Amino acid sequence: MQYNANSPRRRPQPVTSSVELPLDYPCQIYPRVSTPEQKNNVSTEMQKDKSFAISCGWTEEHIILDDRDLGVSGQLRMEERLAFNDMLRRIANGHIKAVVAVNVDRLFRNKWGDESGKFMEICFRYGVIVITPDFVYDFRISWHIERFKRRCEEAWNYLEYHVYGRLHPAQDERGYAGFWAGGHLPLGYIVDTREKIEGKRNPTYHRYIPYWPHAEVIAWLFRRFKQLNGVVRALVREIESKPFLFPDFDETVAPSLLSSFSQCTKVPGGYTIVSNIGLRKILKNRVYIGYWEYKGELVSTQNHEPIVTLDDFTYAYHRLSQINLDGTPNEAVLENGKHYIKRHFADRPALLKECIASEDPAIKIYARERMKNDGVHTFYGFFPNASGRVRANSSYRIPAQEFDRLILAKLREHMCTPQTASDFQNFTAVESEVVKEASATLRDIERDMTAIKSLIERILAQIRSGKLTDPDLAEAANESYTKAKAELQRLEERKTQTTVIAQEDEERRTYHALMQEVGEAWEEIVLPEEHPRLVHLFIKTVTLAIVSPLFFKATIQWHDPTWEADSGLFYKGTYARLSWTQEEADILVQHYPSATRQELMKLLPRRSGKAMKDYVGEHHLPLTRQGKKEDGVPYYVSLEDWNVMEQFGISEETLLCWDNVKLIAWACGRSLSYQPLAAPHPTKMRPYTYLCVPGR
């Protein structure tokens, strides 16, 4: 079929010489906008419209639309854009023969033309055309190549001269003059958007002004930090006890400004700070005493109204900042940092930290360190994700070193178990998803390297022809050649890195064979420094689930395709001090004086008798009860713990002898079964919700 520019049914109409459209193959529409904020604008909807491709002759079922690059910069490499990369794979596989875009600048905004040159070489090699409303590009035609290059240059020139050359300098001029030039806003301030007040020019127009509902909270943070003797963790705990720290913005704040407050997290009723890092940034921000910085440079010390007293601010700043207000190094903070690293860095980090996860999506598990009398210990902490924010304190902790050792022991058992012929065939036949993706990426790299080599040869041919007599053309060809060589070297390095991933399958086979030979000599052959590599090669995920305050379940997914998922029940290893929920506290206060211990434990199944007594004593509650001895559930364990202990035959005496993580039961190739305790009280409490009770 010949593309007829005069056809009345095709609008808008490309102006070009006749180019045969490959209607027997699918085409792909490529939409792209630069920022996430542009995803819902009119331009985006136009780019996703299929009517232009349909008017060219394609049926809807032969049109591919991948919009994953909406919100992605056109200056990124092709391989860094998900939709573009998959489009190149379809081109190399012969699945599509045409790319449709609303404009060339949707495809590229690249300064040197190396990415667009590579793209044209790929399209040329696989016979793919590019269709825009004003032109159909066939890269077998030399002047089409030149036209496409010019369009790419125009796209870059727009950025360089209009955005970077005019808009950015104007923005910088306002920023250095003390006006808000866009970007993030500090809590406690808003931008004054009133250009005039009572008909007169507003002197604070587009400057920071205090937003007092939040400014008062900021001032309180500095005062309270001073009252707490500069202990950040203590202030964080107070913040966590509040449902929100900053109230919701009122109607006087322009809605367009709300997205600029990125230092806080939205929660019901307002906003809060979720980490000590965020709190430290606030306590070191010189904006609160009227200082103005732009692009890291101190411009003014009296730019806007301060909302924190100089005395309160300097107290916090001198304890947290590595530099003094005059720019000199703060030796006290720097020296404290050295001592902290020396005292608080564990010698044996958590091996499973990259693959450990929680069964409950509302829980995040992180490896953390804690200082004890005998040194620094690493643990896996369960951090409840309440209202979209991860709490700073963990509600459940598992000692990492001993748990890692038990999981490595199970890995060792698998590797040392003799394999049957069918097992070995399955292992060699089934390729993991990671290796599959690595193989596909290698094909992508080979495709791009071929295109770059062709581009280099094309430039060399131009130079050898002697036609580049114009100095500007010679300089452009030299820049293109230099950039192409650099890109070829980058692809070679990326190929090497990707090959390493593809070779992991072979590395696993090598370890398998080694373990089959050495058997019990594991400790002599496999050194501790090899353990992280073994974890990376063989363990896909370790998923944890809380069973009771003292017991948890772990499910292991292996990379080895011949190993099915294993699961085990573990003793947690340390006394569980789960934070009390408000519902639990209310039940305890109501029933503690009159109910028997067994009745209390049914009402509070995750609390032991000792935990109840400790809570009453720590909070100085005026509650008393008879101290007679009762049979039934032991005093030191909860009803949930006792349920597990009875199912697996664990006595109280045995439990009290354990002081670290211990494997209770193991199910190889299947899920471990146990009978959870039925909920005895209709309180509808979410298990292990982390809430701070006043006075806790």
pLDDT tens digits, 20-71: 899 999 999 998 765 554 455 545 566 777 888 898 899 999 999 988 888 7
Is the model more confident about 570 or about 193?
Answer: 570
Q: How far apart are CA 613 and CA 625, in angstroms?
A: 10
Nearest Cα neighbor of 318 from 226, 238, 234 is: 226
pTM exceeds cut of 0.85:
no
What pLDDT, on a 0 to 100 scale, did the predictor assign at position 562? 75
| pLDDT confidence tier of residue 460, bands split at 50, 70 and 90 | confident
pLDDT digits (tens, 9 = 90+) for 581-629: 888 888 999 988 888 888 888 899 988 888 888 888 888 888 887 665 6
Mean pLDDT for 419-445 is 61
| pLDDT confidence tier of residue 162, bands split at 50, 70 and 90 | low
The neighbouring-strand residues paired with 323 are: 329
Structure tokens at 614: 């400790």
Is the model more confident about 173 or about 283?
Answer: 283
Q: How far apart are CA 69 and CA 30, in angstroms?
A: 8
Nearest Cα neighbor of 137 from 151, 156, 157, 118 is: 151
Residue 621 is classified by DSSP as -
- CA neighbours within 13 Å on the CB side: how many for 497? 8
Q: What SS3 class is residue 610?
A: helix
Structure tokens at 352: 């499973």
- If you average pLDDT over each of 203-207, 212-216, 290-294, 595-599, which comes out highest? 212-216
Gyration radius of the chain's alpha carbons = 33
Task: Express the helix, strand and coil content of the chain in percent, nearest 5 each.
Answer: 45, 15, 40
What does pLDDT average to over the chain?
78
Q: How far apart are CA 104 and CA 74, in angstroms?
A: 10
Give, in order, the Cα–Cα distances in Å from 421 to each of 418, 495, 510, 513, 538.
Answer: 10, 34, 16, 13, 20
Q: How far apart are CA 610 and CA 618, in angstroms?
A: 12
Residue 15 has pLDDT above 70, yes or no: no
What pLDDT, on a 0 to 100 scale, did the predictor assign at position 694? 28
Residue 443 has pLDDT above 60, yes or no: yes
Q: How far apart are CA 542 and CA 350, in angstroms?
A: 13
Mean pLDDT for 545-566 is 88
Contact 499, 442 (CB under 8 A): yes
Nearest Cα neighbor of 638 from 604, 615, 662 is: 604
